[in-house]
Amino acid sequence: MRRGSFLSLKRIGAIVIVFTVCLFLTASVVQSKECAGVLRKESLGLRAGTAKIDITPKKSVKMAGYSARTGLSTGVHDPLSARVVAFEWDPISQKDGEMGTQSNGKRLVLVSTDLIGFYNGTAEHLRKVILNEFELEPSELFLSAIHTHAGPSLTIDKKEGHPHNLEYTESLKAKLIEAIRKAFNNMSPVHIGAGIGYSPVGSNRRELRFDSAGNSSIRLGHNPYGPTDKEVLVMKLTKPRSHRDSLRRTPDGADGVVVAALFDYAIHATCLTGKNYIISGDVLGLAEQFVEKILGPDVIAPGFAGASGDINPWLRVLPAFKAEPGWIPEPVLLGTMLGEEVVRVFRDIGEVSAGGEIKTAFVTLELPGKAKNELTIEKDCPPTPLNITAARVGDIAFVGIGCEVLTEIGMSIKAASPYKHTFVITHCNGAAGYLPPKHLYIEGGYEIKSSPFAPQAADIVVKQATAMLYGL
Ligand SMILES: [Zn+2]
């Protein structure tokens, strides 16, 4: 073969290779654009992912809620969990169904943990880690606890904290990250709906008593006629049925596959007292577990403590799970009663919709502290910061308050809210102490005495929360 023809053949070969590569690349680009288009279309509108992770302490730990209880836990009655629902919303232009330009991927992460609350600086610590890890805005995270008094105390205090509790808190951080990541990774389009029921398991606890001299005082006890928010608010989350799902039996989700039943109820998880050394979610944790048992293994039921600063379980402060033959232990009985109402309401939610946009807001208020002359306290309380978080997913609203809120305040926020369904979530994004309404300062009692806030603080909070809800 002549050298010239060899070169031309080589050149033709090179051209063919380059042409083939170009063709391949062009096809890939077109294909990836198409793929991206398909994915993008699927991701428009409201999506959500869920996750649940076990957070039961592996070792004996110091338990939270009663200062007189000094020993370590001796066993586990029922497991503790963290439950996550992560929402994401991409805007769609109403005009032509194309992507809007005003926002991209607004998110909301609701976290319910079977813990007492995020005391000892742990709210700020854990929030910072989570916000950084997922690049969330402060307003996009509701880190909340059901206020069980039969769970571990959290601590990051290396000097004072028990080593097992330090270790537990560190492992909790990793588990929350893992659960939130899992929720983001299993996002799919969802439909949402909400319903309201009522439960008698919570009772006002500010009891009026008289001593032998006829002097009155307010004690922790029963005040069955006292104000009590008995509302059980339930949110239903379903995802469209896939072919695989349609082959399975899903009795509670005729309109889709049920993925979550969120509920909110105002109750202290304090069936058990400081004499109990067994780990449990108490009434709210047992209600979550009951709902999940009934609705099936693929459904999570995150519970949230409503405004329950002065609300105890009807059967309260018991030393242990009573094991007398035939007796249903009180936390199980009340948790089941509450859980049955959650399921009843849940099954009555006939209408679910594609939801709508997510809006969120967050403020830290500097609330006035109690003055020296109020209720015989020795010195002025300094101003106390309080985190308030507000959000809406479609027309379902959430208000997170970083302290223990007395029941009338929660009822006022719900009454003032422009939304039909407003979850008031306490022990959320902070642990600033008891927030009582102004008129109770005259009566006094435990919640008033231990509150750091001045009497006018509650009105400021209600006004602020309402303004935030209107601004969403
Ligand atoms: Zn409490």
Residue 300 alpha carbon to ligand 1 centre in Å = 25
* pLDDT band of 8, cuts 50, 70, 90: low
Residue 309 alpha carbon to ligand 1 centre in Å = 6
What pLDDT does 318 receive?
92
Residue 73 alpha carbon to ligand 1 centre in Å = 19
Average pLDDT over residues 85-101: 65
Strand (E) or helix (H) holding 171: helix 163-185
Residue 427 alpha carbon to ligand 1 centre in Å = 9
Residue 286 alpha carbon to ligand 1 centre in Å = 18
Residue 185 alpha carbon to ligand 1 centre in Å = 35
Alpha-carbon distance 437 to 115, whole Å? 25
pLDDT tens digits for range 67-76: 999 999 999 9
The verdict on pTM exceeding 0.85 is: yes
Residue 331 alpha carbon to ligand 1 centre in Å = 16
Residue 404 alpha carbon to ligand 1 centre in Å = 6
Give residues with Cβ within 8 angstroms of 279, minimum separation 6: 56, 57, 63, 73, 75, 76, 77, 78, 80, 150, 151, 152
Kind of pairing between the strands at 106-113 and 81-90:
antiparallel
Residue 182 alpha carbon to ligand 1 centre in Å = 31
In this structure, which amino acid lies at residue 75?
G
Q: Kindly report the number of other CB atoms within 10 A of residue 228's CB atom.
A: 22
- Enter the DSSP assignment of 368: P
pLDDT tens digits for range 144-168: 999 999 999 999 999 999 999 999 9
pLDDT tens digits for range 228-243: 999 999 999 999 876 6
pLDDT tens digits for range 317-361: 899 999 999 999 999 999 999 999 999 999 999 888 887 899 999
Residue 401 alpha carbon to ligand 1 centre in Å = 14
Residue 147 alpha carbon to ligand 1 centre in Å = 7
Exposure of 306 in the CB half-sphere (CA atoms within 13 A): 28
Q: 300, 259 in Cβ contact below 8 A? A: yes
Residue 313 alpha carbon to ligand 1 centre in Å = 12
Residue 230 alpha carbon to ligand 1 centre in Å = 18
Residue 268 alpha carbon to ligand 1 centre in Å = 6
